[in-house]
């Protein structure tokens, strides 16, 4: 695991709040990290992409830890290192995820296991480490898990991905039920189609136009659309929200 430490002097509603963001090197995770940094948070970014991760961390004054979240022991070690570097943790944003495409008939065991290892099991492990630290500190905390619209309605050619994201929603609800007595809130976000680097290789302009037509707003989501709600759920303004799976879909689904 490689890391770097820098500092920031930004001020805002998260001044002094200790935040860990997984998958923060690019895409939605990077934008979430940027928004927290702009509002004064003390940040740790975890990602397997060391080059982009180090660059992003340096640009926003965050600590960076390189980790493959498919590896349980490395995940626990990276979380412990991040908490040690921050001096504790107040907010955990479980953003990291992988796309695995395949039909029910064609999905391989390897693709299924990879989707669940990164998209779901890693969230369990990071939550365990972070929540124990939050409980020991006695200050409560907030956990925001990135699920997906696919976790609510399914999706053709997404057997492993949609299933893993449905599991994220269930895990979030159990977390909220069990940790609420410690003042720890847990919510999940269910984005729809968001233009990020992760899906760039598999989409065409025709796909973008079609997906945009599914939204009453006539457009796809942006990382900022998701980041704004992630910060709300982590903030005092969201203090009575827990166990929710909040849609960020531009109205593509409304339940």
Q: Which residues participate in catalysis according to the annotation? A: 161
Specify the DSSP class assigned to residue 158.
B
- ∠ CA 74-78-84, rounded to 5°: 145
Specify the DSSP class assigned to residue 116.
H
Any idea which residue has 């004054």 for tokens?
Answer: 61
Euclidean distance between CA atoms 75 and 93, whole angstroms = 14
Closest-CA residue to 226 (of 250, 191, 199, 181): 191
Euclidean distance between CA atoms 101 and 156, whole angstroms = 9
DSSP 59-89: HHT-EEEE--TTSHHHHHHHHHHHHHHHTS-
Helices (H) and strands (E) counted in the chain, each on its own, are 9, 7
- ∠ CA 15-187-60, rounded to 5°: 35
Cα Rg for the chain, rounded, in angstroms?
17
């Amino acid at each position: 695991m490689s890391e770097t430490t820098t500092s920031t002097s930004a001020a805002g509603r998260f001044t002094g709040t200790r935040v860990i963001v997984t998958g923060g090197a690019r895409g939605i995770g990077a934008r979430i990290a940027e928004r927290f940094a702009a509002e004064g948070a003390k940040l740790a970014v975890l990602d397997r992409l060391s080059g982009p991760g180090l660059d992003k961390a340096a640009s926003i004054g965050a600590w960076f830890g390189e980790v493959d979240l498919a590896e349980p022991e490395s995940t626990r070690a990276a979380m412990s290192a991040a908490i040690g570097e921050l001096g504790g943790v107040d907010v955990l944003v479980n953003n990291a995820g992988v796309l695995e495409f395949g039909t029910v008939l064609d999905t391989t065991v390897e693709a299924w296991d990879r989707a669940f290892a990164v998209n779901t099991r890693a969230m369990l492990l990071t939550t365990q480490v972070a929540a124990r630290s939050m409980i020991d500190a006695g200050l409560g905390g907030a956990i925001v898990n990135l699920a997906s619209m696919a976790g609510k309605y399914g999706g053709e050619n997404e057997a492993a991905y949609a299933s893993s994201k449905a599991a994220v929603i269930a895990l979030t609800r159990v977390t909220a039920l069990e940790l609420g007595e410690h003042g720890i809130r847990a919510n999940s976000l269910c984005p729809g189609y968001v233009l990020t680097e992760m899906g760039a290789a598999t989409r065409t302009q025709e796909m973008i136009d079609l997906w945009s037509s599914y939204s009453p707003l006539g457009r796809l989501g942006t990382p900022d659309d998701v980041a704004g709600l992630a910060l709300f759920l982590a903030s005092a303004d969201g203090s009575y929200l827990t166990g929710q799976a909040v849609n960020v879909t531009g109205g593509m689904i409304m339940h």
